[in-house]
Chains A and B, each alone.
Chain A
Amino acid sequence: MKGKKVTAILCAGMMAAGMLAGCGGASGSDAKASSGDAVAGGSVLTGSQASGDKYDHQAIENTKENITITMMVSGVAQGTDFETQSLPDLVHKKWPNVTLEVTKLPDDNYYTSLKTKLASGECPDIILTQPMYAGSNSCYALAEAGYLASLNDLDYLSNMPDLSAVTYDGNVVTATTGVSILGTYYNKDLFSKAGITEEPKTWDEFLADCKKLKDAGIQPIVMGDKDQYVMQFGLYQIAANEIYSKNPKYDDELRTGDTSFTDKDTWDKVLTMYKQLYDEGYIDASQSLGYGASQAIQDFIDGKAAMTFDGSFNAAALTATGEGGDFERGYFPIPSESGEQYTATCLAAGYSIYAKSKYVDQCKEIFDYWMNGDNEIWDAQLATGRVIPLYGKGADSIPNYDLFKPFIDLTNEGKGFHWCNQAWPAGTETTMEEMFSEMIGGQGTTVDDITKGMQDKFEDLLDD
């Protein structure tokens, strides 16, 4: 009997151990990677080493033999996929001696795979990276570790208005051609029903319009706050208006300690303005906290609410026909208090070249051809409908261009600002969302608690 008990306890121990192996699993692969790093770690090239002279614009032609360039991106292949099908075909068509091998992985697998490959020194030649500090494949973090080649000598760069979000230590490290937009989708039918004839130009007008809608018995704004990330859609627009327009270096200064989330008239103002929408019942917190993002989109296309804050990446879903019929949609940036227009429009994810790749110049030659704005690869990429390019042929014929045009113009005028979370260490925004939920959910959290919470989390995340 005693032996049986001991065995039982041991088994239980094993079970508990097994449970944690789920968490240990991740470190398991890291463990392997870390030993590989000893090989790769010492001699990692920094981006700047590759800069300086112009790259060899005939690199591929000068390479006599057949070469295979590898590329890894995240996402899920759809239909005739651009990255895994059209791109390799068109590259091969242009340069018959080049085979582009593309792997497309779901986001999480991509992150894990990328980390392992980087650490073992077997990274693909081209990888997908995100601006600033966004995500596990953020170009700043990867550039800091010396994994990305400098792209300063690419010719296409002259087409882009501002590449600071993909520039690390003076080197452009991600080649991107497009943007992603955060804005306010609205239902023009419901607006006119409530007697609103034009888009609001100031924050006060915006509030007045919300009131008109509410008085007309229409839910002004629907949000799926159960998926807390959607709070960013509204907050970042207001932050672009009230913080970055006044101090574009605000986020950089957060890192140096010159600014703080608790500074007066910065985040306290943004959060208070956004909270106003909940206080007045323009967004119904009692409902939104139990609503998922897709459910909110459904309500919008069903004509149950007049507006929703969302991104260009959800345009297809938001312009679909629901129970609300085929009503006309509009898209505007949340107006600022002053009436000056700004937008939370950031650079889209792009492609980077692995610093230790054998084919850095060849990859650059491909990039410059692809991104010159007038060729077959460019057309194929635009045809996916998933990019909003800032230049080039056909840029004005992308789906929903009418919706996006004001944002693109503002960005080209230098009035587009990055999304806050791209500049923060990942996790700061989670604290913001959590605490904002608590505030609108009546848990007694105040705006000052939130800014303090964000600052604490920010410092904690930066502190190694």
Chain B
Amino acid sequence: MKARRKKRSGANTSLTFNNKMFAFMIPALAMFLIFWIYPLLQLFYYSVTNFNGINYNYEFVGMKNFVKIFDNGTILNSIGITLIYAAVTVVLSNILGLALAIVLNTKIRFKGFFRTASYFPALFSAIVVGFIWSYVYMPSSGMIASLINLFGGNGASFNPLGNFHTALFAIALVEVWKGFGTTMIIYLAGLQTVDESVLEAGRIDGCNEWQLTRLVKLPMISSTITINVVLSVINGLKAFDYSFIMTNGGPGKSTKTLMFQIYEIAFTDQKMGRASAFSVVSFAVIIAITIVMLIFMNKREVEV
């Protein structure tokens, strides 16, 4: 007992991290609590009020906001849209990012140029990218439409953003275009941690390049895959930018993602209470999806 206490007091007077060091956490912790946790808790509070953002004589309305958002189907509509958006961006940006990373990790000419080029779109802000792409997609005189015209097609009928069935995929592609570079960089970093000796051992054992990739490299970068997939799932689930900039949620409701819908309820309809309820539900949905994904991905990870 005595020995244990002595040991603990020894730890407290550690030269590298003694108790006093905890005091230095206070500023950061305070910021975190005030600007992140407190507003988040306020969200739960407002979700049971009829606060409209202007008039502070609001009342408590119980679960009415929650009933309403499920009642008229807005939340199911936007959850569906968000999931499709997330699925498209996660799958495409990861496949594209991984494939590129594998190619750019080999010894090819102009490697540096290609790496830079694929990361380039990530350097622009979403607003700029969205604005540029709305001109790329523009019917008749947009970039793609002009190319179609050039090759003798009918560019006027090319209208991805104006079509109820394609608008969501069209903006998801823009997200992929902007995002795959970042995914690629992370994969590239992961691939470079794979020890050359392991690959050499594989080659001696008679693996071809495809087998090396599938059986050695991919399992060894499984934690990188987890990070990338989870990051892009989260990114996909909070989709807002391109719906806002490129389609305004339209045509109709076809690109109203969760975040866009929350924005609209809060700032167009001025129903802060209901928007808070919407956020709370989104919070639950997103956290559930993320946890399930993590558990699933972690199971598949290989301990190195």
Residues of A at under 8 Å CB distance from B?
A: 1, 5, 8-9, 12-13, 15-28, 30-31, 33-34, 37, 41, 108, 111, 115, 118-119, 136, 141-142, 144-145, 225-229, 286-292, 295, 425-427, 430, 433-435, 437-438, 441-443, 456, 460-461, 464
- B139-A16 in contact (CB<8A): no
The secondary-structure label for the interface of chain A is helix
- A9-B39 in contact (CB<8A): no
Interface residues of B in 258-295 (CB under 8 A from A): 259, 262, 264, 266-272, 275-276, 279, 282-283, 286-287, 290-291, 293-295
- B54-A441 in contact (CB<8A): no
Interface residues of B in 9-63 (CB under 8 A from A): 35-36, 38-40, 42-43, 45-46, 50-57, 59, 61
Given contacts A426-B270, A437-B251, A438-B252, contact A145 B55 (CB under 8 A): yes
CB distance from B283 to the nearest CB of A (A): 5
Q: List 7 A-B contacts (CB under 8 A).
A: A18-B36, A23-B266, A28-B39, A290-B137, A290-B160, A427-B270, A460-B72
Given contacts A28-B35, A37-B56, contact A443 B138 (CB under 8 A): no
- B275-A28 in contact (CB<8A): no
Given contacts A12-B290, A24-B43, contact A434 B134 (CB under 8 A): no
* A22, A288, A464 interface centre (most CB from chain B within 10 Å): A464
CB distance from B188 to the nearest CB of A (A): 22
User: Could you tell me how many residues of chain B have their Cβ less than 8 Å away from some Cβ of chain A?
Assistant: 69
Give every chain A residue within 8 A of B238 (Cβ-Cβ).
19, 22
Given contacts A289-B250, A290-B159, contact A9 B291 (CB under 8 A): yes
Nearest neighbor of B166 in chain A, beta-carbon distance:
A290
- A286-B42 in contact (CB<8A): no
Interface residues of B in 142-167 (CB under 8 A from A): 156-157, 159-164
Given contacts A1-B303, A136-B53, contact A291 B39 (CB under 8 A): no
- B251-A438 in contact (CB<8A): yes
- B290-A460 in contact (CB<8A): no
> What number of A-B contacts does a CB cutoff of 8 Å give?
194
Give every chain B residue within 8 A of A435 (Cβ-Cβ).
252
Given contacts A427-B269, A437-B250, contact A20 B283 (CB under 8 A): yes
CB distance from A365 to the nearest CB of B (A): 29
Nearest neighbor of B157 in chain A, beta-carbon distance:
A286
- A27-B247 in contact (CB<8A): no
CB distance from A223 to the nearest CB of B (A): 11
- A292-B134 in contact (CB<8A): yes
* A9, A18, A26, A295 interface centre (most CB from chain B within 10 Å): A26
- Judge whether B83 is part of the interface by a CB distance below 8 angstroms: no
- B248-A227 in contact (CB<8A): yes
* A1, A18, A286, A289 interface centre (most CB from chain B within 10 Å): A289
- Judge whether B230 is part of the interface by a CB distance below 8 angstroms: yes
Contact of B38 among A5, A12, A31, A119 (CB under 8 A): A31
- A25-B291 in contact (CB<8A): no
CB distance from A464 to the nearest CB of B (A): 4
CB distance from A36 to the nearest CB of B (A): 9
Give every chain B residue within 8 A of A18 (Cβ-Cβ).
36
* A1, A142, A430 interface centre (most CB from chain B within 10 Å): A430
Give every chain A residue within 8 A of B275 (Cβ-Cβ).
23
The secondary-structure label for the interface of chain B is helix
Contact of A30 among B53, B57, B162, B230 (CB under 8 A): B53
Given contacts A17-B40, A287-B139, A290-B137, contact A12 B266 (CB under 8 A): no
- B36-A21 in contact (CB<8A): yes
- B156-A27 in contact (CB<8A): no
Given contacts A437-B251, A461-B271, contact A17 B276 (CB under 8 A): no
CB distance from B128 to the nearest CB of A (A): 15
Give every chain B residue within 8 A of A464 (Cβ-Cβ).
50, 52, 59, 61
Given contacts A23-B279, A24-B279, A33-B56, contact A287 B252 (CB under 8 A): no
Contact of A24 among B42, B72, B287 (CB under 8 A): B42
- A289-B251 in contact (CB<8A): yes
- Judge whether B116 is part of the interface by a CB distance below 8 angstroms: no
CB distance from A13 to the nearest CB of B (A): 6
CA distance A33 to B61 in the complex (A): 20
CB distance from B161 to the nearest CB of A (A): 5
Nearest neighbor of A31 in chain B, beta-carbon distance:
B42
CA distance A216 to B291 in the complex (A): 62
Please provide the 9 A-B residue pairs with the shortest distance between their CB atoms, ordered closest to farther.
A290-B162, A28-B39, A289-B162, A427-B269, A290-B159, A24-B39, A37-B56, A438-B252, A464-B50
Nearest neighbor of A8 in chain B, beta-carbon distance:
B294
* A20, A425, A461 interface centre (most CB from chain B within 10 Å): A20
- A295-B138 in contact (CB<8A): yes
CB distance from B226 to the nearest CB of A (A): 8
CA distance A438 to B59 in the complex (A): 36
- B162-A288 in contact (CB<8A): yes
Give every chain B residue within 8 A of A433 (Cβ-Cβ).
250
- B134-A289 in contact (CB<8A): no
- A437-B268 in contact (CB<8A): no
Given contacts A30-B272, A288-B162, contact A443 B35 (CB under 8 A): no
Nearest neighbor of A435 in chain B, beta-carbon distance:
B252
CA distance A228 to B243 in the complex (A): 13
